[in-house]
A and B are shown apart, each in its own frame.
Chain A
Amino acid sequence: MIDILHSAFVEATNNVFQLMLNITDISNHPTEDFKCEDEIDISIGVIGDLQGEVIYRFPVATSINMVNIMSGMEFEQVDAFVTSAVSEIANIISGNVLTALSTSDMKCDILPPAQYKPDENKEYEIKTSCCISTTIGEVCLEIRLNKAS
């Protein structure tokens, strides 16, 4: 299950970067290599057969580069516009994963994007992460889910 979810999120992220940002030079590497202090953390809640959240950690530089490519404009700092645009991208990636998984027996839905608030006390059966590296910067995904009882 962990491998299936891990691959599905990596593939969906790659596809979105290709289709929306026209970036094809994409590679994956372990999250331990991800070093970033200034980032936008977006949480997408998951409900249904799987419950929990997926956290998207977009470094500020990556976020601004993404919005610059999409808009053709020059953004210099993170504000409500940039945060909302990268939140929608997290929403799109997560939605695509659930659509891909819906052909299996798993039925899940996602909640609207929200700024991530850490709660390290929660326990998860499925806990995995991945870091995706592109020419405009990295993005790190942390998948934290439980099977519905």
Chain B
Amino acid sequence: MLWKDRYELGVPEIDAQHKELFRRVESFLKVLRSGVRWEEKIPEINETLEFMKKYVVEHFRDEENYQLSINYPLFEEHKKTHTDMVNYVLEVSKQYEESGYNEDLMQQFGGRLLAWLINHVASADQHIADYARKKGMDGND
């Protein structure tokens, strides 16, 4: 499984979204890496990609709202990381469509998305949880 319990922040609403995001990325990767011919995978890849684009934006917005609610001091920096990732996803999607659904582009996207997501949740997002705990704002309290 892509999701690991050690990624939990202790903020139920955000943890639930992270789990859903990991579940969606995992299904995307399974389709991407399956042995089926690329041409046959394209419809499912495109469908999952479209969903992820929407879900990523929604999740980032909710996470940013949570950060604002606890006056997280690194809000602007964190928001920039989200914005950069959303821009990257949109740019790759555009290139992918323009290329006529090139497989290598999607494989590159999958590899970067996997490493980025794990680092973001296992590292950057943990700072939010540490801050919330220090301020006594743990979502499980």
The 4 tightest CB contacts between A and B, nearest first, are A84-B111, A85-B111, A88-B115, A80-B107
Stretch at the interface among B44-52, B53-61, B118-126, B129-137: B118-126
Question: Does more than half of chain B's interface fall in helix, strand or loop, or is it mixed?
Answer: helix
Residue of A nearest to B126 (CB): A19
B112 contacts A73, CB within 8 Å?
no
Residue of A nearest to B1 (CB): A72
Cα separation A86 to B119 with both chains bound (whole Å): 12
Cα separation A20 to B114 with both chains bound (whole Å): 11
With A22-B6, A71-B29, A73-B29 as contacts: A16 and B107 at CB distance below 8 Å: no
Q: List 14 A-B contacts (CB under 8 A).
A: A19-B119, A19-B123, A20-B122, A20-B123, A67-B111, A71-B2, A72-B26, A80-B104, A81-B32, A85-B112, A88-B112, A88-B115, A88-B116, A89-B119
A109 vs chain B, min Cβ distance (A): 13
Is B33 part of the contact surface with A, judged by Cβ < 8 Å? yes
Is B108 part of the contact surface with A, judged by Cβ < 8 Å? yes
Cα separation A20 to B119 with both chains bound (whole Å): 6
Is B109 part of the contact surface with A, judged by Cβ < 8 Å? yes
Cα separation A84 to B115 with both chains bound (whole Å): 9
Cα separation A8 to B117 with both chains bound (whole Å): 23
Query: Per-residue CB proximity of B1-14 to A under 8 Å, as 1/0?
Result: 11010100000000
A19 contacts B122, CB within 8 Å?
yes
How many A-B Cβ pairs are below 8 Å?
A: 66
Interface size on B, residues (CB 8 A): 23
Is A2 part of the contact surface with B, judged by Cβ < 8 Å? no
- CB-CB < 8 A to A81: which residues of B? 32-33, 107-108, 110-111
Most chain B CB within a 10 A radius of its CB, from A19, A82, A87: A19
Cα separation A70 to B2 with both chains bound (whole Å): 7
- CB-CB < 8 A to B122: which residues of A? 19-20
- CB-CB < 8 A to A23: which residues of B? none
B87 vs chain A, min Cβ distance (A): 13
A5 vs chain B, min Cβ distance (A): 21
A42 vs chain B, min Cβ distance (A): 12
